[in-house]
Amino acid sequence: MFALGPLGFLAPWLLVGLAALPVLWVLLRAVPPAPVKRRFPGVALLLGLTDDESQTDRTPWWLLLLRLLAVAALIIGFAGPVLNPQPQREGTGPLLIVADGTWADARDWSQRSARIETLLDDAARQGRQVALATLTDPPAELVFQDAAAVRQTLPNLQPKPWQPDPQALADWAETLPARFDTFWLSDGLARDERDTLLATFEAAGQVTAFQSPRQVTALRPATFKDGEIALSAVRTPSGPGSELQLNAIGRDPAGVERQLATAPLVFEPGASATDVALSLPPELRNRVTRFEVAGVRSAGAVSLTDDGLRRREVALISGSGSAEEVDLLSPLYYLREALEPTADIIDGSIPDILLGNPDVIVLADVATLSGSESADVLDWVEAGGLLLRFAGPRLAASDVGRDAEDPLLPVRLRDGGRTVGGAMSWGEPKALAPFDENSPFSGLPVPDDVTVTAQVMAQPDPTLSDRVIAQLADGTPLVTRKEQGEGQVVLVHVTANAEWSSLPLSGLFVQMLERLAVSTRPASPDAGDLEGTTWLPQQVLDAFGNLDDGTALPGIAGEVIAESAPGADLQPGLYASEDQSIAINAISADTTLATQQWPARIPVEGLVVETETPLKGWLLAAALALLAVDIIASLAVGGRLKGPRATAATVVLAAFLLAPQGAQAQDDDFAIAATSEVTLGYVMTGDQQTDDISSAGLQGLSNTLFRRTSIEPGPPMGIDLERDDLSLFPFLYWPVIADQPMPSSDAYGKLNRYLRGGGMILFDTQDADTVGFGGASPEGRRLQAIAAGLDIPEIEPIPDDHVLTRTFYLLQSYPGRYNSRDIWVEASPADAEQADGMPFRNLNDGVTPVVIGGNDWARAWAVDQYGDRMFPVGRGQAGERQREFAYRFGVNLIMHVLTGNYKSDQVHVPDLLERLGQ
């Protein structure tokens, strides 16, 4: 292939033809355009006249140029030009194309796909057998197939949000066949296992690496340190300084996910990591669900947050109100110590605390709450709160939960409690029994030195055994729990200080609080913490940093979560168990990134592929277009562009030049027509006859308005709900027919905006002759279906004192072609009062957005082009009377639309009373 810069030619010899162009120029120039023969009797007068200019016998230069360009385009086109021709790859034998397929690939995965595609194309040209694999998800067995077949599977190849597992890779390397060449698309990150794998590949054949020199950025998990969120971003340590943006994303109070905070990530030149501290108010901080580096599409740039970052709000309330207690004896001292590092502690009275809606309320030795407090706390628990109670002398001495179960206690309590191993009692202090599997404390080690000397006792109840979540060695309950609504009530049967037991002194106390989700983990959990728990994936990350629903995936044991790195078995994402959650991120806290340096013997190619673009078609099309222009130009030069030909040429040119401007002008015309006068609109139903009647009806109403009132409407306009702007019309008439298509969601949006913005729609089901309103007519059902999506307020049958009865005429019926009383309008407020001596209530609400009825008003109003009535109404004089009232209703309706509740004002009462004859 012959190449000129980025342009290659398949048949370069044809370009020699370009040399003939100058010859063509001379030839074409010498030949004048062929003459037209005309019969013309006036020729006698022409004899002897000579042409002024000798120039005109030659083709004009621009026409020549046009033709030469056309010919040149033809020659070049047939020479087969190709933009960015790709050099052919040489090679035989089986070929392995392997991509790292990690999260670092995700950012430019489409580019990699395209590169693989071109490699496959090359392989297909050479007839090589190809196998395709990613290191993060190595296939069990490498199958070398025809390149075209492999190409079909290319879309299945997706990056994974984790790093390759060295062990799995080593196993995979064992299974590889003996001879193949390798194309290795690297993600650019240095990894230890690469060297061994590279040795394997090199042993099998030639290796070519593909790597683009670009920066990989990743975000380490967020930690909570000194009241601030500490975040650390890492990158491959090369290149100049850069500044990225960190976004904290979470749900706002309305439940919509949005960006809650941003912070700059500034990398010094050559630096590999940068730290940023984010100080957020607790309310905001607890809402953050993930951090991400803005603009980087990769799982590495997303860091999910879990309980580690959440700080629960814990309210501590103790029964002893005196401030003179010694610290160590305070019922709250140990709780405060245990919770302070991981939770926000609130003090105060119960009413104040409930306003703050804490996650947990701890009642230490509080026996009774006042009636309203108790009710409020119960409401709070049922809304999802956790009430943690500790026993104590007061609780033991009180009668709470003695005879009947108190809603704020999980069990009934026996009188007095018990004391063991004290100075005045027999027996040894009791130790704790190991936790049950069903207990939230399951898996926690029980230290030997935790003993209980006194406790409150639970009454044996049928439900007791279900509610015990920790017990002493002799089987007496130590911690009981019950579900109450969305929340739960937990009672620890000992005190929160060291008076009754040594539990608050032990590490178990903190772990138990953690398991109860009273406190949260300060750091990433270890295996011991998570032993015996099962974690269900809630959301999983894909390699591109998108969160997917993970609830369909199987649960994972706590040990696995604690120990494994993210992989196929442990997808990065958010895992939950009971009330706790753990985030598994693609990047761990100690991840560092380094650029992969390939040994000098391995050829490294870039990823960027210019796709081959054959230009032949474009050039031939250009040549054709030029020749088409040449036809018109030749006709013009030869004086033959006349009559129909000129018209056709003008039309063709105009079609090219003027086409795009039509639609806008049409919209403008519509808006101008609708707004230059008051214009009544009707909704086009798609049924020609109905639309014609609507138009004629509104024309009749417009005529009446014109004659009788100061409203002088323009001709009515039909409205296509999908296309037209409704806001131009004060009033829409909507005849509902049974087979009307449902409006689209866009149209619904427009209609709702219209109704909210003060527009009025008159729905007419045209069926009042057969059924009452809302009855089983097909039109009625259709109206219900259509109106379901509309923002229509509560409606009521039109009351006798509605303002529609007096906006222009005094009316008590609203007939159309049929005379039914069933007209529905927006309901008046329930508290509207009728003042004494007033004929109507004082209703100063807005214009009713809808009037719904079935009286077929359009037919009663309809006039034809000569102003004659189109449809009969009733019989004889009575019928004409009814038509007159139909017009009056129309006048009142339009007056109501345009003047609102003007006539509802009590100022008009005297006049109206006079007219009413009262």
Partner 1 sequence: MTTPLALRADAEHLAAPLPPLLAEAEHLASTVLLGDHGRRRPGLGDTFWQYRPAQPYDATRMIDWRRSARTDAAYVQDKEWQIAQSVVLWIDSAAAMRFASSDSVPTKAHRARALALAVAILLSRGGERVGLTGLRLPPRRGAAQLDQMAAILSEDDTTDYGAPEAQGMLPHSRALFVSDFLGDLGPVEDALTRAADRGVRGALLQVLDPQEEAFPFDGRTVFESMTGSLKHETLKASDLRSRYLDRLAARKDRLSSLARMTGWQFTTHHTDSPAPSALLWLYQSLERRT
Q: Which amino acid is at 540?
A: V
Nearest approach in angstroms of CB 62 to partner 1 is: 16
Nearest approach in angstroms of CB 732 to partner 1 is: 53
Nearer to partner 1, 45 or 655 (CB): 45
Nearest approach in angstroms of CB 55 to partner 1 is: 9
Nearest approach in angstroms of CB 25 to partner 1 is: 20
- Angle between helix axes 166-175 and 193-204 (nearest 10 degrees) is 10
Nearer to partner 1, 276 or 635 (CB): 635
Nearer to partner 1, 642 or 881 (CB): 642
Nearer to partner 1, 63 or 106 (CB): 63
Nearest approach in angstroms of CB 66 to partner 1 is: 18
Taking CA atoms, 644 is separated from 278, 393, 649, in Å, by 76, 111, 9
Q: Which residue has the tokens 């003008």?
A: 650
Nearest approach in angstroms of CB 615 to partner 1 is: 37
Nearest approach in angstroms of CB 31 to partner 1 is: 11
Nearer to partner 1, 241 or 638 (CB): 638
Nearer to partner 1, 4 or 648 (CB): 648
Structural contact between residues 856 and 817, judged by C-beta atoms closer than 8 angstroms:
yes
Nearer to partner 1, 199 or 648 (CB): 648
| Residue 355 burial by Cβ neighbours in a 10 Å radius (0-12, 13-18, 19+) | exposed
DSSP 454-505: EE--BPP-TTHHHHEEEEBTTS-EEEEEEEETTEEEEEESS-SSTTTBSGGG
149: closest CA among 122, 129, 133? Answer: 129
Question: Distance from first CA to last CA of the chain, Å, rounded?
Answer: 105
Nearest approach in angstroms of CB 32 to partner 1 is: 6
**Cα angle for residues 516, 309, 291 (degrees, 5° grid):** 140
Nearer to partner 1, 605 or 630 (CB): 630
Nearest approach in angstroms of CB 50 to partner 1 is: 8
Nearest approach in angstroms of CB 630 to partner 1 is: 16
Nearer to partner 1, 39 or 875 (CB): 39
Taking CA atoms, 367 is separated from 378, 526, 694, in Å, by 15, 38, 75
Contacts of 462 (CB under 8 A, 6+ apart): none
Rounded Cα distance, 213 and 323, in Å:
67
CA atoms lying within 13 Å on the CB side of residue 785: 16
Nearest approach in angstroms of CB 627 to partner 1 is: 20
Q: Which residue has the tokens 């380094």?
A: 594
Q: Are strands 343-346 and 312-318 parallel, antiparallel or unpaired?
A: parallel
Contacts of 468 (CB under 8 A, 6+ apart): 458, 477, 478, 479, 480
Where do contacts with partner 1 occur on this chain (CB under 8 A)? 32-47, 49, 51-53, 56-57, 637-640, 642
Nearest approach in angstroms of CB 39 to partner 1 is: 6
Rounded Cα distance, 322 and 349, in Å:
14
Nearer to partner 1, 52 or 868 (CB): 52
Q: Which residues, in sequence order, are bridge partners of residue 808?
A: none
Q: Which amino acid is at 587?
A: I
598: closest CA among 191, 164, 204, 235? Answer: 191
Rounded Cα distance, 298 and 236, in Å:
15
Rounded Cα distance, 56 and 17, in Å:
29
Nearest approach in angstroms of CB 43 to partner 1 is: 4
Nearer to partner 1, 57 or 141 (CB): 57
Structural contact between residues 307 and 521, judged by C-beta atoms closer than 8 angstroms:
yes
Nearer to partner 1, 41 or 155 (CB): 41
Nearer to partner 1, 38 or 875 (CB): 38
Q: Which residues of 879-913 are buried (b: 16+ CB within 10 A; e: fewer)?
A: eeebbebbbbbbbbbbbbbbebeebbeeeeeeebe
